[in-house]
Amino acid sequence: MARAVEIPKKEVYTYDDYAKLPEGAPYQLIGGKLVMTPAPSTHHQDVAKKLLVRLFSLEEKGLGKVFHAPIDVYFEETETYQPDIIFISRERLDIIEEERIRGAPDLVIEILLPSTAYYDLRKKFKVYERHGVREYWVVDPEARSITRYENGGGSLIQVEEVEERGRVGSELLPGLELDIESLW
């Protein structure tokens, strides 16, 4: 049985504090705060599974590696997230460490939950932008939509939004195109 770890109360937490949490603890380090993220709904997990199936086919083609939450992605001392799905291109596999991903994945996919949407759309968005995430997808199961952003010159720019029906593609991964209706 895992031993409880006492984390002292602090104004700003760092990666060293975060790393002391027990494996699988439901927290992310966002803006120096330990933010509890509850387990996602079954619908969220179903959407994630369908996205992963598509992405794993690209991994099998040798284009890079796909990971899904929970996995730590370290951006800086006060920013370590567990995105729902990430892709790291073959050319950048060196950012994969034994305990974490160190640096910006090429693709980040966040599936919104009411409890985490603020972080995904605001705080984490800015960090993804600043650290050079090349493509960011925001999947909203409630609105049945996907919004796709590309990093152009240090800014994540919305390039596509598909609601209910339609296809979403990827500049980063030309073989990735999906009919969003199949996700719901």
Q: Give 8-24 pLDDT, tens digit per residue.
A: 789 999 999 999 999 88
Residue 175's pLDDT is: 81
**The total number of residues written for the chain in this structure:** 184
Place of tokens 């991903």: 101
40-183: CATH class: alpha beta
Strands 107-111 and 135-140 turn out to be parallel
Strands 85-89 and 145-152 turn out to be unpaired
Residue 76's pLDDT is: 98
Contact 173, 37 (CB under 8 A): no
The pTM score is 0.93
Rounded to the nearest integer, the mean pLDDT of the chain is 93
- 41-65: pLDDT as tens digits: 999 999 999 999 999 988 888 999 9
Strands 85-89 and 101-102 turn out to be unpaired
Residue 115's pLDDT is: 82
Q: Compute the average pLDDT of residues 89-97.
A: 97
Residue 4's pLDDT is: 59
Q: Compute the average pLDDT of residues 101-107.
A: 98
Residue 146's pLDDT is: 97
Residue 3's pLDDT is: 55
Contact 55, 176 (CB under 8 A): yes
- Residue 139 one-letter amino acid: V
Place of tokens 């010159």: 153
Q: What SS3 state is found at 18? A: helix
- Residue 114 one-letter amino acid: P
% of residues, the chain, pLDDT over 70: 97
Place of tokens 């895992």: 2
- 59-84: pLDDT as tens digits: 888 999 999 999 999 999 999 999 99
DSSP run (H or E) holding 157: strand 155-163
Which band of pLDDT confidence, cut at 50, 70 and 90, is reported for residue 1? very low
